[in-house]
Amino acid sequence: MDSDKTQAGIQSSFLVHPVAIAIWVVVCVWSALLAHTLLAVFSGFIFALTLCSLVWGRLSLRGVRYELTIPQSELFPGQSLWLTRTVYNGKMLPLLWLELLEPCDPDGCAVPDSKFIVPNPEATEEKPEDAWRCLYSFALLKWHQTLTFSDLWTAKHRGIHRVAEITIRSGDGFSLCTAGSQMTMEPARQIVVYPQLTEVSVDAILNNMWDSRSRSSGYLEDVTLMKSVRDYTVRDPARRINQRLLARGQGLKVNQYEVVTPSDVLFALDAASFKGRESEAFERVLSILASLITGLSQRGIQVGLLAPRSAYFPQTYVKPAGGEAELRHMLTLLAAAGQADLPLTDSVDAAAPELLGQVYYVAFSEKAATSLRVLAQVPPHKAELLVFETGEPAEGHALRAREITQFWRAS
In a domain, 200, yes or no: no
Task: Give me the pLDDT at residue 261, please.
Answer: 52
Q: How far is CA 169 from CA 60, 115, 136, in A?
A: 9, 19, 10
At residue 126, the 3 state secondary structure works out as coil
Neighbours of 17 (CB within 10 A): 14
In a domain, 136, yes or no: yes
Higher pLDDT, 367 or 205: 367
Does residue 411 surpass a pLDDT of 50? no
Task: Give me the pLDDT at residue 269, please.
Answer: 96
Does residue 154 surpass a pLDDT of 60? yes
Does residue 66 surpass a pLDDT of 50? yes
% pLDDT > 70, the chain: 85
What integer is the mean pLDDT of 193-200? 94
Among candidate residues 193, 224, 248, the one where a domain is terminated: 193
Q: Do 53 and 140 fall into the same domain? A: yes
Task: Give me the pLDDT at residue 203, please.
Answer: 79
Task: Give me the pLDDT at residue 218, please.
Answer: 40
In a domain, 202, yes or no: no
Task: Give me the pLDDT at residue 246, please.
Answer: 76
CA-based angle 144:145:148, to the nearest 5?
145
What integer is the mean pLDDT of 263-270? 89
Task: Give me the pLDDT at residue 272, please.
Answer: 95
- Picking from 48-57, 302-311, 333-342, which range would have the lowest pLDDT averaged per residue? 48-57
Dihedral, CA of residue 393, residue 398, residue 400 and residue 403, to nearest 10: -30
Q: Do 167 and 103 fall into the same domain? A: yes
Among candidate residues 203, 231, 260, the one where a domain is terminated: 260
Higher pLDDT, 2 or 399: 399
What integer is the mean pLDDT of 343-347? 84
Is there a contact between 357 and 333 (Cβ–Cβ < 8 Å)? Answer: no
Radius of gyration of the chain (CA): 33
- Picking from 68-77, 205-214, 373-382, which range would have the lowest pLDDT averaged per residue? 205-214
At residue 145, the 3 state secondary structure works out as coil
Q: Do 61 and 48 fall into the same domain? A: yes
Q: Which residues lie below 8 Å from residue 113, measured CB to CB, with a gap of 6+?
A: 151, 152
Q: Do 219 and 294 fall into the same domain? A: no
In a domain, 71, yes or no: yes
In a domain, 7, yes or no: yes
What integer is the mean pLDDT of 220-231? 68
In a domain, 63, yes or no: yes
Task: Give me the pLDDT at residue 330, please.
Answer: 97
Q: Do 255 and 267 fall into the same domain? A: no
Q: Do 14 and 102 fall into the same domain? A: yes
Task: Give me the pLDDT at residue 213, please.
Answer: 40
Q: Do 124 and 155 fall into the same domain? A: yes
Query: DSSP label at 211?
Result: -
Among candidate residues 260, 280, 298, the one where a domain is terminated: 260
Task: Give me the pLDDT at residue 381, please.
Answer: 80
In a domain, 14, yes or no: yes
Alpha helices in 15-121 (DSSP H): 18-33, 37-59
Could you tell me the pLDDT band of residue 172, with boundaries at 50, 70 and 90?
A: confident
Q: How far is CA 12 from CA 58, 101, 173, in A?
A: 10, 19, 12
- Picking from 248-252, 309-313, 317-321, 357-361, which range would have the lowest pLDDT averaged per residue? 248-252
* C-alpha–C-alpha distance, residues 87 and 149, integer Å: 9
User: What is the full DSSP assignment across 358-372?
Assistant: EEEEEES-TTT-S-G
Q: Do 117 and 35 fall into the same domain? A: yes
Q: Do 378 and 271 fall into the same domain? A: yes
Q: Do 120 and 68 fall into the same domain? A: yes
CATH number of the domain within which 92 lies: 2.60.40.10
Q: Do 184 and 151 fall into the same domain? A: yes
- Picking from 44-53, 61-70, 134-143, 203-212, which range would have the lowest pLDDT averaged per residue? 203-212
Structural domains of the chain, count: 3
Is there a contact between 187 and 23 (Cβ–Cβ < 8 Å)? Answer: no
Could you tell me the pLDDT band of residue 394, with boundaries at 50, 70 and 90?
A: low
Could you tell me the pLDDT band of residue 103, with boundaries at 50, 70 and 90?
A: confident
pTM: 0.78
Q: Do 94 and 182 fall into the same domain? A: yes
Does residue 75 surpass a pLDDT of 90? yes
Task: Give me the pLDDT at residue 232, please.
Answer: 77
Beta bridge partners of 160: 192
Does residue 109 surpass a pLDDT of 70? yes
Could you tell me the pLDDT band of residue 346, with boundaries at 50, 70 and 90?
A: confident
pLDDT tens digits for 306-339?
Answer: 999 999 999 999 988 888 999 999 999 999 999 9
Task: Give me the pLDDT at residue 382, please.
Answer: 83
Does residue 212 surpass a pLDDT of 50? no
Average pLDDT taken over every residue of the chain: 84
CA-based angle 140:168:165, to the nearest 5?
145
In a domain, 77, yes or no: yes
Tell me the residue range of the domain where 312 lies: 262-407
